[in-house]
């Protein structure tokens, strides 16, 4: 599908599009330059703008070095909504994992973990649960780990532990309770645990041939942490507890537990991100090709002739945040189809797995 805008277009007054960089969430993302010369990402909310724009004004007031900044919400002459965001030129965590399929090593994993936890702590303290954490939404830029893609974020009262308006996340990073509509910050703790496992091993803890099989493993299996050193094995095990009450209460608690180990503190203290995560070596990609942003890879394209943008491994592609008013029931309608399909896949998986499970249960009875 062709992008809506091309190089040189000015859909929003004051910004000139340089190139398309990807699709994700509810629309398209472009690298653009302001009339004053500032590099920005323009997100065109082509699909469901009312969902994405809900409360985005409040996100513009979030200020943290570990979060992608949202600058403004603008409309074209035709009334099309755009979000003006910080342009991130560094690689995503997904890019790094692709370049290092065996895992990043403990020092680099700790660096990303610390940045993620600091950014999430800031969000959680303000009642915001990210709800779609995954490597494609985590970036490195100029010495900082930054969290992006707030397209599914939700403002929550700290005393309210559930909501029923939208499904969330990518299946490999999705906490077991999400299917029942429980969207507390514990689901972010769970996703952090999954990413820590992936950063150390190069693979996610629960894999399967279908979405249903992966979901069933999230519901029924413990992660295999054999071979992982402490404190990582213990921390991952606790972060991935099936019962959210048994996980770390906060991401700060998780990070404190990790840094309680002298080896972890020492490894993190000597890690130099500028040596390990800068330039082409950080991207590990010598011939970047276009790919879906936020769906497991970066989005690249040749730079426009008049201007060469900073090297882009995976620009930030989405923004949202706490709604200014309580969520409305339309969200339930929007995501009902997803959970109907998910439920059907799970039922299919149960039907396939039930004979094996029953046979295993009967072995003691039959003396097997």
Same domain, 124 and 237: yes
Give the whole-angstrom CA distance, residue 81 versus residue 179.
31
Same domain, 85 and 221: no
| Of the candidate ranges 42-51, 195-204, 322-331, the one whose mean pLDDT is the lowest | 322-331
Same domain, 81 and 109: no
Same domain, 157 and 244: yes
pLDDT of residue 181: 80
User: Which residue among the candidates 132, 141, 149, 188 is catalytic per the annotation?
Assistant: 132
Which residue bears the tokens 């900082």? 144
For 131-174, how does the pLDDT look when each residue is reduced to its tens digit (9 = 90+)?
A: 889 999 899 998 999 998 765 566 554 433 333 333 445 899 99
The answer as to whether 116 is a domain residue is yes
287 is known as an active-site residue: no
Asked if 91 and 286 touch (Cβ cutoff 8 Å), the reply is no
Domain end call among 43, 71, 89: 89
Same domain, 134 and 272: yes
Q: Where are the beta strands (DSSP E) in the chain?
A: 15-24, 27-34, 39-44, 70-75, 81-86, 128-129, 138-141, 144-147, 154-155
The answer as to whether 327 is a domain residue is no
Average pLDDT of the chain is: 76
pLDDT of residue 247: 98
Task: Map residue 336 onto helix, strand or coil.
Answer: helix
State the CATH number of the domain containing residue 74. Answer: 3.30.200.20
The answer as to whether 252 is a domain residue is yes
Domain end call among 239, 256, 280: 280
The answer as to whether 7 is a domain residue is no
Number of structural domains found in the chain: 2
pLDDT of residue 11: 95
State the CATH number of the domain containing residue 222. Answer: 1.10.510.10
pLDDT of residue 95: 93
Residues 6+ apart with CB under 8 A from 160: none
The answer as to whether 156 is a domain residue is yes
The answer as to whether 330 is a domain residue is no
Task: Map residue 14 onto helix, strand or coil.
Answer: coil
Same domain, 132 and 273: yes
Same domain, 199 and 249: yes
| Closest to 70 (Cα-Cα) out of 58, 79, 78 | 58
For 60-113, how does the pLDDT look when each residue is reduced to its tens digit (9 = 90+)?
A: 888 999 999 989 889 899 888 898 999 998 899 999 999 999 999 999 999 999
The answer as to whether 305 is a domain residue is no
Domain, as residue range, for 23:
15-89
- Percent of residues, the chain, with pLDDT higher than 70: 66
Same domain, 37 and 140: no
Same domain, 82 and 97: no
Question: pTM here?
Answer: 0.73
Give the whole-angstrom CA distance, residue 73 versus residue 71.
7
Q: What is the DSSP letter of 31?
A: E
Domain end call among 27, 57, 89: 89
The answer as to whether 234 is a domain residue is yes
Position 236 pLDDT exceeds 80? yes
Q: Would you state the torsion angle of the CA atoms of residues 53, 59, 60, 64, taken in this order, to the nearest 10 degrees?
A: -150
Same domain, 139 and 273: yes
More confident residue, 27 or 19: 19
DSSP β-bridge partners for residue 230: none
Same domain, 80 and 145: no
Same domain, 156 and 241: yes
Q: Which of 174-183, 223-232, 269-278, 309-318 has the highest mean pLDDT?
A: 223-232
pLDDT of residue 297: 33
Q: Which of 125-134, 152-161, 267-276 has the highest mean pLDDT?
A: 125-134
pLDDT of residue 180: 82
């Amino acid at each position: 599908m062709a992008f809506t805008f091309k190089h040189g277009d000015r859909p929003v007054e004051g910004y000139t599009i340089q190139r398309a960089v990807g699709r994700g969430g509810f629309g398209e993302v472009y690298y653009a330059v302001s009339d004053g010369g500032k590099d920005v990402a323009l997100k065109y909310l082509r699909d469901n703008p009312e969902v994405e724009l809900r409360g985005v004004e409040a996100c513009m007031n979030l200020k943290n070095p570990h979060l992608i900044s949202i600058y403004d919400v603008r409309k074209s002459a035709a009334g099309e909504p755009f979000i003006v965001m910080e342009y991130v030129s560094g690689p995503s965590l997904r890019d790094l994992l692709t370049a290092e399929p065996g895992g990043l090593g403990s020092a680099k994993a700790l660096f990303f973990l610390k940045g993620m936890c600091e950014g999430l702590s800031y969000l959680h303290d303000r009642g915001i649960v990210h709800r779609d954490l995954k490597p494609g939404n985590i970036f490195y830029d100029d010495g900082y780990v930054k969290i992006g893609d707030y397209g599914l974020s939700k403002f929550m009262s700290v005393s309210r532990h559930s909501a029923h308006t939208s499904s969330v996340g990518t299946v490999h990073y999705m906490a077991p309770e999400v299917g029942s509509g429980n969207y507390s910050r514990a689901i972010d703790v769970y996703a952090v645990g999954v990413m820590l496992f992936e950063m150390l091993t190069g693979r996610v803890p629960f894999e399967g041939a279908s979405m249903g099989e992966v979901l069933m493993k999230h519901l029924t299996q413990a992660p295999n942490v054999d071979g992982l050193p402490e404190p990582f094995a213990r921390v991952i095990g606790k972060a991935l507890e099936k019962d959210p009450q048994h996980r770390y209460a906060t991401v700060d608690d998780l990070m404190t537990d990790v840094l309680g180990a002298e080896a972890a503190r020492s490894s993190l203290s000597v890690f130099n991100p500028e040596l390990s995560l800068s330039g082409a070596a950080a991207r590990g990609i010598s011939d970047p090709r276009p790919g879906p942003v936020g769906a497991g890879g970066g989005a690249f394209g040749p730079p426009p002739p008049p201007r060469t943008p900073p090297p882009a491994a995976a620009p930030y592609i989405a923004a949202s945040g706490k709604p200014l008013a309580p969520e409305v029931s339309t969200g339930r309608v929007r995501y009902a189809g997803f959970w109907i399909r998910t439920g059907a896949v799970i039922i299919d998986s149960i039907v396939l797995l039930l004979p094996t499970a029953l046979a295993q249960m009967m072995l003691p009875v039959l003396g097997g």
